[in-house]
C-alpha cells in the first residue's frame, strides 16, 4: 500500500524562487526526502523557448537537496512546469509529498494517492505516431500500479511532460533517414500533447488504440483526465498519475469533470463536487471554505472559431497566438470560481477533453 499524501499549493515570488517550498520543509509540513512530485505554472511565454521552466526546475531541486534529500533521488522527482501565466493566472507550485506511516490515521475511505513513471525514450520520429501512444500507455499503467490503483475509474488526473520537436531533433531524425510528423516546432507542442493524451486514454480504457491518421484529426477521441505538457527538458514521457485509493489514509481526495467549452464554470464546480465537497446547487466561492487545494485544467480554442455560437478571432490572430488568448480567458473563468488566481490552467488540449473544452481535476482537503 502506498503512503498517504500531503499536498500544498505555494506561490512563486520570482522566476527563480522556491522559498515557499523551503518554508514548508522548515515548518515541518513535509520532509524534503518525501517530496514525490511538483506541478506548477511559470511566468514565461509558454512556448518552445520558455526557459522559465528550466529555471524553476533547478530552483526547486536545489532546495530539496539543500534541505537534506539525496541528490540522486531529487534528480528522479517528476517536476512538471507549464509555462505561461497569461491574464490573471499567478505563478505557483503544487507540491506532493508522502507522509510517514506513523503519522497517518488509517481509513478505508478513498483518499489521494500518487504514482510516477517514465516511459521508454521517445525518438523525434515517434512523436505524433502510434509508437508514442504505446510507450505512454505502458508508462501510465506502471504509474497506476505504483499508486496502488487497480480500477481506471479511480484515476482522476494524469499529468505528463513529454518532448517536443526542435530544430536539433528534427535534424537528428533526418540524419538517420527518418521523417517527422511536422517540422514546425511550435505545432509540435500541440502534437506531443495530443498524442500523449491518446496514450493515456488507451491505458485507461477510454478509447481503443487509434491509428496514425487519427492523431490530431479525430477530435472525438480524447481522455477526460489527461493534462499533457511538453518541452525541451527531456526525451521521455514523464507520467504522474493522481487518483484515490482505499486504505491509504490522509486528508485529501481528488475528483474530475470536463468543461464543455471555455465558459463552462459548471464543469469546474462538478470536478470539485466529484472530489468530495458537498456544495449547493448554485455554489459560490465562499462555499469552498478554504478546502480547495487547487484545480488543474487544460484548455483549447475550438476548431470552429466559436464559443456558444459566437464567433471569435483567436485562430486568425497573427499578433497574439491563440495559446495565450484561450489560456488567459479560461484562467479568468477559473479564478472567478475559485477566488484564487493561482490556478493550474494549461493550453494545448488536443485529445484532452472535447474540442473547445478540456478536463478539470480538483483536489480538496476533507480534514
Catalytic residues: 161, 229
Do 53 and 163 form a contact (C-beta atoms < 8 A)? no
Q: Which residues of 291-301 are buried (b: 16+ CB within 10 A; e: fewer)?
A: bbbbbbbbbbb
The packing angle between helices 130-146 and 187-203, to 10°, is 50
Burial of 186 (0-12, 13-18, 19+ CB in 10 A): middle
Cα 77 to Cα 329: distance, rounded to the nearest angstrom? 32
SS3 27: coil
Burial of 338 (0-12, 13-18, 19+ CB in 10 A): middle
φ, ψ (nearest 5 deg) of residue 111? -135, 165
Do 341 and 88 form a contact (C-beta atoms < 8 A)? yes
Cα 353 to Cα 348: distance, rounded to the nearest angstrom? 11
Cα 194 to Cα 229: distance, rounded to the nearest angstrom? 9
From residue 289, how far is each of 226, 271, 318, 345 by CA, in Å? 28, 16, 42, 22
Pairing of strands 292-299, 344-347: parallel
In degrees, rounded to 5, the angle at the alpha carbon of residue 345 between the alpha carbons of residues 342 and 351 is: 165
Amino acid at each position: 500500500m502506498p503512503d498517504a499524501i500531503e499536498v500544498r499549493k505555494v506561490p512563486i515570488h520570482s522566476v527563480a524562487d522556491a522559498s515557499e517550498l523551503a518554508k514548508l520543509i522548515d515548518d515541518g509540513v513535509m520532509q524534503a526526502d518525501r517530496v514525490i512530485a511538483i506541478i506548477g505554472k511559470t511566468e514565461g511565454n509558454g512556448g518552445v523557448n520558455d526557459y522559465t521552466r528550466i529555471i524553476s526546475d533547478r530552483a526547486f531541486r536545489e532546495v530539496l537537496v539543500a534541505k537534506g534529500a539525496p541528490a540522486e533521488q531529487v534528480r528522479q522527482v517528476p517536476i512538471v512546469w507549464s509555462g505561461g501565466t497569461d491574464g490573471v493566472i499567478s505563478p505557483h507550485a503544487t507540491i506532493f509529498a508522502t507522509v510517514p506511516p506513523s503519522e497517518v490515521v488509517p481509513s478505508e475511505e478513498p483518499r489521494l494517492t500518487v504514482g510516477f513513471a517514465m516511459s521508454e525514450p521517445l525518438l523525434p520520429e515517434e512523436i505524433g505516431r502510434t509508437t508514442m501512444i504505446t510507450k505512454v500507455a505502458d508508462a501510465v499503467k506502471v504509474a497506476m500500479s505504483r499508486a496502488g490503483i487497480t480500477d481506471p475509474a479511480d484515476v482522476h488526473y494524469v499529468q505528463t511532460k513529454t518532448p517536443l520537436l526542435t530544430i536539433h531533433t528534427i535534424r537528428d531524425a533526418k540524419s538517420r533517414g527518418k521523417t517527422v510528423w511536422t517540422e514546425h516546432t511550435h505545432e509540435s507542442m500541440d502534437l506531443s500533447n495530443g498524442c500523449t493524451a491518446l496514450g493515456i486514454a488507451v491505458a485507461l480504457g477510454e478509447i481503443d488504440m487509434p491509428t496514425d491518421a487519427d492523431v490530431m484529426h479525430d477530435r472525438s477521441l480524447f481522455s477526460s483526465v489527461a493534462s499533457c505538457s511538453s518541452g525541451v527538458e527531456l526525451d521521455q514521457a514523464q507520467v504522474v498519475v493522481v487518483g484515490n485509493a482505499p486504505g491509504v489514509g490522509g486528508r485529501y481526495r481528488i475528483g474530475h469533470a470536463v468543461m464543455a467549452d471555455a465558459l463552462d464554470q459548471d464543469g469546474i464546480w462538478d470536478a470539485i463536487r466529484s472530489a468530495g465537497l458537498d456544495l449547493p446547487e448554485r455554489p459560490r466561492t465562499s462555499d469552498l471554505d478554504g478546502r480547495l487545494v487547487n484545480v488543474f485544467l487544460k484548455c483549447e480554442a475550438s476548431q470552429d472559431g466559436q464559443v456558444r455560437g459566437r464567433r471569435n478571432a483567436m485562430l486568425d490572430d497573427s499578433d497574439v497566438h491563440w495559446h495565450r488568448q484561450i489560456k488567459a480567458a479560461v484562467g479568468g473563468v477559473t479564478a472567478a470560481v475559485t477566488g484564487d488566481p493561482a490556478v493550474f490552467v494549461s493550453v494545448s488540449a488536443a485529445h484532452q477533453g472535447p474540442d473547445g473544452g478540456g478536463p478539470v481535476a480538483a483536489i480538496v482537503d476533507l480534514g
